[in-house]
Amino acid sequence: MRRAALLLLAASSALAGCNAQPGASNAAAPEVAPVEKRGTLASAFTDPVGTIARLNQFGYRLGEYKNGANGFAAGGEPIFLSQSDAKNPNRGTVEVTGKDAATIDSIVFALAVTDDANADTARKRLTDNVRAFLFQYGVEDKGALDAIAKEQDADGLIGEAPATVAIDKSQTPRRITVTFQRPPATAPAETAAQNTQQP
């Protein structure tokens, strides 16, 4: 397992390098703490710093998880998901949001389809990125993310977290989003608070 993780890290670093912008810093990435519970996404929602570091391995370059008008959030810069020399290349983004500094409530991967000629490649790379992110937690989607390639809406549980694939054709360019929501079980503080209110 350790060897597989090291291979993933090397591949992820190479992918991040492909999306580097001119003048970007080559400073070492922060160390990523071990996942507390493999096989679930529980740690992804209770460790904002670690989650952002893992997402940044794919070149998204998310900033600090900080408070704003609508709660806490960290957004990355768009990365190329298909031909970068196309007139209007397909790009992907990722954003994490939550109500407080200690937890993430949602992780949203998005693809804006601006270049239909290379849409297949972009959808595949989005799928690969999401699956590689899940792999870091020991999670398999078991084919659920195949909906991205088909551009079909889908929902269910992945790694014990509610997940949705949504296709929004109401705007141009159309958007494909993959959203993971924090499972209620990852909020022990809330549960404890509820228990103390019981008579």
pLDDT in tens, 115-131: 999 999 999 999 999 99
Range 99-130 burial, b when 16+ CB lie within 10 A, else e? eeeebbbbbbbbbbbbbeebbeebbebbbbbb
CA–CA separation, 82 and 100 (whole Å): 35
Query: How sure is the predictor about 34, in pLDDT bands with cuts at 50, 70 and 90?
Result: confident
Specify the pLDDT at position 38. 86
Q: 174 near 168, Cβ under 8 Å?
A: yes
**Mean pLDDT computed over 31-39:** 75
